[in-house]
Amino acid sequence: MTVNPRDEPSFSTELEHLDAEIRGCVRCANILAEHPANPPSRPEIVVPRPILSTPFSASIMLIGQAPGLTEYDSGLPFQGPAGSGIRGLFAECGVRLDEFDRVVYQTSAAKCFPGRKQNGRHWEDRQPDPKMLQMCSGFLRNQIEIVDPRLVVCLGGVAAKAIDRLRGYPIRVLGDVVGTVEEWGDRYIIFLAHTSPGSRFLNEEKNKRLQARGQRLLEHAVGLLRESGGLIRGQSDRP
């Protein structure tokens, strides 16, 4: 795998426009209105609140499933326990915690928190409804085209399926893709399992090995980008 940086890109007005369009989106209001935020303590219904990085051109794009309750409250991506896990994983692969938000453009297959549901005695984040994913897929496509990352890191089965749909691929199960790298035009996609505490995929030893392989691929790609000076492209001065 060779990951070459693009020529120095300038901050994109196009990306700012897309960012504003996404942040103003309320298409899923009716779907979200059926779901409480966190029923044991927060019975209020969820409202559309798209969560994504502030716009900047990045060599690495991270695509998760959907924001969780912590992200919903903070307005920032990858903040909760799952976010800490993935930030730690990237740190192990060469992206320091203090540079993560400048280096990795963060988004998800569905940009809005889908609410929580009961699973036995526990409460966990709901998966986004298929309709939400469908309505958000155009945004994801546009984000990838405009941010134009060299490397897409796909986190979990929902994100992998969203990427497969965008590429017109048959939908695959998580075990078929975790730990692999694929070319997509002039960029690469690395598939990882979700690091969320609620994810059961990584309970199995064979899946842990797949994840470790994916981490080695990520470490290799980050090393190539850093060596070539392409890890940090540029960033908005917006907060």
Q: Angle at Cα 56 formed by Cα 165 and Cα 103, nearest 5°?
A: 85
Phi, psi of 215 (to 5 degrees): -65, -40
How far, in Å, are 82, 169, 193 from residue 72 at the CA level?
A: 13, 31, 22
Which residue in 18, 22, 62, 104 binds ligand SF4 (CB under 6 A)? 22
Closer CB to ligand SF4, 130 or 197, in the complex: 130
Nearest to 63 by CA among 26, 111, 17, 25: 111
Return the range that interacts with ligand SF4 (CB under 6 A); candidates 109-117, 143-151, 157-165, 192-200.
Answer: 109-117
Residue 122 in tokens: 């526990």
Q: Does 158 bind ligand SF4 (CB under 6 A)?
A: no
Closer CB to ligand SF4, 103 or 162, in the complex: 162
Instruction: Write the DSSP symbol of residue 202.
Output: G
Which residue in 18, 58, 103, 112 binds ligand SF4 (CB under 6 A)? 112
Instruction: Write the DSSP symbol of residue 185.
Output: T
Q: Does 126 bind ligand SF4 (CB under 6 A)?
A: no
Site for ligand SF4 in 25-84 (CB under 6 A): 25-28, 48, 50
Return the range that interacts with ligand SF4 (CB under 6 A); candidates 84-92, 132-140, 145-153, 200-208.
Answer: 132-140
Closer CB to ligand SF4, 136 or 163, in the complex: 136
Q: Does 93 bind ligand SF4 (CB under 6 A)?
A: no
DSSP run (H or E) holding 107: strand 104-108
**Are residues 3 and 218 in contact, defined by beta-carbon separation less than 8 angstroms?**
no
- Position 27: which residue type? R
Number of residues that bind ligand SF4 (CB under 6 A): 14
Q: Angle at Cα 41 formed by Cα 38 and Cα 43, nearest 5°?
A: 60
Which residue in 60, 61, 68, 111 binds ligand SF4 (CB under 6 A)? 111
| Residues found near ligand SF4 in the complex (CB under 6 A) | 22, 25-28, 48, 50, 110-112, 132, 135-136, 139
